[in-house]
Amino acid sequence: MKKILLLGSQHGNELLGEKLYHHIKTNRPELSKYISYKIGNLRAKKAGLRYIETDLNRSYNCGQKTYEQRRSKRIIQYITDNQFDLVLDLHTTTCDQTPCIIIPSINPDNSTFLNATFIDKIIHMDIDVVNQSLIGTYPKSVSIEVSKKQLKPGLLDKLADDIDRYIKAENNNRLAIVYQVHDFIHKDKISEELAAKLNNFELCNQGFYPVLVGEKSYKKQTNYLGFKAINTYDYKIVKN
């Protein structure tokens, strides 16, 4: 039997994980036996903050100095002890964009879910920072980003359908595009005027596709505005 972990609140103020878990228990109980749920950043969740000391999703493989770095060790230990077949790392973004999947590569460990999901934007995060994230640490994990505006029962049911198809190894034969991210959109390399014109997943006049632009936390807490995809290609169903 497939074992699936819903990991919520790696950023403590993001709600997709708990909302999806509650939706499945309430409306799709037939899936519950396959599902476990875990809160990523417990202290930040209680405080209603993104993080306490360091961004948890930038704290994997980074030592044990901060609370989030120590927490990442416990999360990985929990995942490996339970031998989950799939970990859905569930995020809520303030960006104005359609739902997207984030992965470090397309491989046999994640392709069954990629085949099953309705989400048609796949971000191949081909930069070193992914090594400090959960998806760069546990191969059977996939990150999902959903706009806060889209956190409604209809979307939650679509994600539940994805899980159902994954369990049954069924394909969702939709057209999907992979955006291969090679770099950040650095604040000091783009003017405010140009930055204001960027639309996620739309080719800009500087020759790249912006990804996760508009995320408030990036604007305030990092030296970049989002991510830069140069290459795109169609995703084709992978036969497992």
Task: Please give the pLDDT value at position 239.
Answer: 66
In a domain, 119, yes or no: no
Task: Please give the pLDDT value at position 190.
Answer: 87
Domain membership of residue 148 as a residue range: 4-93+130-173
**Residue 51 and residue 230: Cα distance in Å, rounded?**
30
pLDDT tens digit sequence for 65-98: 999 999 999 999 999 999 999 999 999 998 888 9
Residue ranges of alpha helices (H) inside the chain are: 16-27, 42-47, 67-82, 111-116, 153-168, 192-195, 216-221
Task: Please give the pLDDT value at position 26.
Answer: 97
In a domain, 222, yes or no: no
Task: Please give the pLDDT value at position 220.
Answer: 66
Residue type, 79: I
In a domain, 231, yes or no: no
DSSP state at residue 54: S
In a domain, 118, yes or no: no
In a domain, 203, yes or no: no
In a domain, 69, yes or no: yes
**Residue 40 and residue 68: Cα distance in Å, rounded?**
9
Reference 222, options 39, 57, 43, 101; nearest CA is: 57
Task: Please give the pLDDT value at position 240.
Answer: 58
Residue 237 phi/psi, 5-degree rounding, is: -55, 130
In a domain, 32, yes or no: yes
Domain count, the chain: 1
Taking 50 as the pLDDT cut, the residues of the chain under it are none
Instruction: From residue 193, give the alpha-carbon distance in Å to each of 185, 187, 198, 215, 217.
Output: 14, 12, 9, 17, 20
**Residue 157 and residue 14: Cα distance in Å, rounded?**
18
